Amino acid sequence: MFSLDHNRISHVLRSRILGTGRALPARVVTNDDLAKRMDTSDDWIRERTGIEERRWVTGESCADLATAAARDALAAAGLQPSDIDAIVLATSTPDHFAPGVGVFVQRALEIPGIPALDIRTQCSGFVYALSVADAWIQVGLYRRILVIGAEVQSTGMDVSSRGRNTAVIFADGAGAVVLGVSDDPARGILGFDLHSDGTGAEKLWLDSPVRYHESMPIDRFDPAVNCLQMDGRDVFRNAVVRMPESVMAVLAKIGQPLEALDLLVPHQANLRISEMVQKTLKLRDAQVVNNIQRYGNTTAGTIPIALDEAVREGRVQAGDLVVLTAFGSGFLWGSCALRW
Ligand SMILES: CC(C)(COP(=O)(O)OP(=O)(O)OC[C@H]1O[C@@H](n2cnc3c(N)ncnc32)[C@H](O)[C@@H]1OP(=O)(O)O)[C@@H](O)C(=O)NCCC(=O)NCCS
């Protein structure tokens, strides 16, 4: 399989994250809140997923969260919307079937004419989005790109007992980074490892989404078709193998041993998955970022939200080797290695 080796190409520009940001809805939904709506319990959810609470919107759109996260990342980078040349936005829950969410962010930020590309690779969305933005910067097409992962899952979920295996996991939130040309060739994005396996497509899928389904005539609403369906065990089994494999693959591509890794930011699918990935890779707690306890699984949002928290908590220092890794619906998975 062909794969670009960033280290062998001397004429391309290296991209670097200039600022990170996030936006979470204010409304906190605890496990006990869910237990009032469906046959579940705080104990079951904590034990199987690690989740204690999550955020659900109260009217905000995916574009609203994405725009707020983008503004936060711009502020962190010390930049204005007018400094941005392009938007690459990952989501599996666009507000409309067409157009995508990117153009609404472009409109809200009032940056006329810049390209806005939506990426539809679910939980791996942010890693894929970053790979596109990195390539655009490397070839000199754009110099500063907003890369966003944003999701509003709550308005499309079956929140009755029927949908309990997904409704307790998925949630709303957005994270963003500003990707720009690195002024230090030693720092920035070093490489990617990306994969798909469509034989697993129906293991975690939404056949025909219906948003705000509570207003739909009940005889026309079929949660098996209109809400996310998941074979949790199969997803779990694949995730705990693919994520460590991909971390090792991206480290091999950039010529670094596992021992050189400072921080792993895994997609927040389920705390048990992250714990198994950590165990397989023999990493210490301090080397792995986990915040699913507070936010649930925000699909394309988890990695940029977790990265932003890690950066603001001082867990990432200049020169650190960081790997972002994801696995999810598709199946799609992959990793990004970067020198902070
Ligand atoms: C979803 C997951 C937590 C379920 O755990 P599990 O141990 O595999 O549980 P099962 O699906 O086999 O279900 C076990 C029982 O719990 C029940 N159950 C499912 N969801 C429940 C809930 N929210 N509350 C209480 N009971 C629940 C099931 O109905 C089943 O009951 P039964 O034995 O009477 O049939 C687990 O499979 C998982 O974490 N998978 C990965 C999911 C994930 O990360 N998805 C995102 C990927 S990006």
> What number is the average pLDDT over the span 210-238?
78
Asked if residue 215 has pLDDT above 60, the reply is no
- What pLDDT score does 333 carry? 98
Q: Closest Cα to residue 130, out of 66, 180, 93, 183?
A: 180
- What pLDDT score does 223 carry? 80
Question: Which of 187-196, 218-227, 234-243, 290-299 bottoms out in mean pLDDT, i.e. has the lowest?
Answer: 218-227
Higher pLDDT, 111 or 156: 111
And the tokens for 136? 């655009």
pLDDT tens for 28-59 read: 999 999 999 999 999 999 999 999 999 999 99
Question: Which one from 123, 213, 270, 336 is the annotated catalytic residue?
Answer: 123
Q: Closest Cα to residue 68, out of 103, 22, 20, 107?
A: 22
Asked if residue 243 has pLDDT above 70, the reply is yes
Mutate to test the pocket of ligand 1, among 31, 41, 165 (most ligand atoms within 8 A of CB): 165
- What pLDDT score does 11 carry? 61
- Closest CA to ligand 1's atom 43: 269
Catalytic site includes residue 11: no
Q: What is the DSSP letter of 191?
A: E
- Parallel/antiparallel/unpaired status of strands 86-90 and 116-119: parallel
- pLDDT band per the 50, 70, 90 thresholds, residue 209: confident
- What pLDDT score does 212 carry? 52
Q: Ligand 1 centre from 45 Cα, in Å? A: 9
Taking the C-alpha atoms of residue 38 and residue 141, their distance in angstroms, rounded to an integer, is 50
Mean pLDDT of the chain: 94
Mutate to test the pocket of ligand 1, among 48, 276, 277, 297 (most ligand atoms within 8 A of CB): 48
Asked if residue 6 has pLDDT above 90, the reply is no
- What pLDDT score does 17 carry? 98
pLDDT tens for 7-32 read: 555 567 999 999 999 999 999 999 99
Asked if residue 158 has pLDDT above 90, the reply is no
Taking the C-alpha atoms of residue 178 and residue 263, their distance in angstroms, rounded to an integer, is 20
pLDDT tens for 279-337 read: 999 999 999 999 999 999 999 999 999 999 999 999 999 999 999 999 999 999 999 99
DSSP 63-131: HHHHHHHHHHHHHHHT--GGG--EEEEE-SS-SSSSS-SHHHHHHHHT-TT--EEEE--GGGHHHHHHH
- pLDDT band per the 50, 70, 90 thresholds, residue 66: very high
- What pLDDT score does 173 carry? 98
pLDDT tens for 119-154 read: 999 999 999 999 999 999 999 999 999 999 999 999
Catalytic site includes residue 267: yes
DSSP 146-183: EEEEEE--GGGS--SGGGHHHHTTB--EEEEEEEEE-S
Catalytic site includes residue 31: no
- Closest CA to ligand 1's atom 4: 232
- pLDDT band per the 50, 70, 90 thresholds, residue 160: confident
